[in-house]
Amino acid sequence: MDFLSMEPVTIPCSELIPGYRKLKGEGSHNISFDKLLVISCRHTDFTFLIPCIKELNAKDVIDMFEKWIKPTVGLPYEIITDQDVLFMSALFQDWANSVGVRHKASSAYHPQTDGSSERKNKTIIPMFAVKKLEDGTNWVQATPSVQIEVNTAVSGPRGKSPWHILLGFDPKIGSTPLPIPIPIFSNPAKRFYEAAENLTKARSSKHTKPTKREGHPLPTLLDPKSCCQQRTSQPDITPPNYPQNG
């Protein structure tokens, strides 16, 4: 979990809060956003994208977990963040301890602690740029659609989308041809185990994959032709025939 610094964008409250115009009238009531809070589950890769204002404080971050994250997926057992002052504040630390959440902060000496967030951020930022080029949508307005695309994209290492791993079905996000397909739900324990198993295999394959030395291809031991070609390509080391003194 970390913050992404974004281009400052001012949005009318009437676009964010349903019924706001009826309540407050046609006056100019705007909110300025300049950063994005990215929260991702390490197991399912399910991601929350939350636009934030500059004046955000630690109490606001706690409210996001209590009012948005907790009612949707529950509180996490562990939170990994960068060393932002909001996450390192005593208020946030006390809240994490009170609800039984272990908090780990990445450091300059161990940047891999929050490596998954770094990879997620590199995926998300270009998606906002594409939305702006396609229809001029600013990043705050594009956040809901980007979150859906991130969570419905099939993860290569896990074999399924984050949405399917978490909820057991693929969501309806647009028009569907008739007849309307019935969602197929899978067993939670089974899909969680499969996702973990696929992720473990993908990680282990990165460490066990053989490397090819440049200029020296690895021979196929079961192929006699490769063995013969390697033998014939060896330099001739027979000593020269020097003349003998008689």
158 contacts: CB under 8 Å, gap ≥ 6: 44, 45, 165, 195, 198, 199, 202
* Stretch (H or E) spanning 47: strand 47-53
Buried b (16+ CB within 10 A) or exposed e, 35-69: bbbbbbeeebbbbbbbbbeeebebeebbebbeeee
Distance CA 13, CA 11 (A): 6
The pLDDT tens digits of the residues spanning 77-91 come to: 999 988 889 999 999
The pLDDT tens digits of the residues spanning 180-235 come to: 566 666 677 777 777 777 777 777 776 655 544 444 443 333 343 444 444 444 44
Task: Determine, yes or no, domain membership for 114.
Answer: yes
Task: Determine, yes or no, domain membership for 16.
Answer: yes
The pLDDT tens digits of the residues spanning 90-127 come to: 999 999 999 999 999 876 544 444 566 777 788 888 99
Domain harbouring 56, CATH code:
3.30.420.10
Task: Determine, yes or no, domain membership for 18.
Answer: yes
Task: Determine, yes or no, domain membership for 209.
Answer: no
Residue 52 has pLDDT above 90, yes or no: yes
| Domain span including residue 108 | 2-138
Residue 58 has pLDDT above 70, yes or no: yes
Under 8 Å between Cβ of 41 and 162: yes
Task: Determine, yes or no, domain membership for 165.
Answer: no
pTM for the predicted model, two decimal places: 0.70
Task: Determine, yes or no, domain membership for 240.
Answer: no
Count: domains in the chain: 1
Task: Determine, yes or no, domain membership for 78.
Answer: yes
Distance CA 46, CA 73 (A): 10
Task: Determine, yes or no, domain membership for 153.
Answer: no
pLDDT at 234: 47
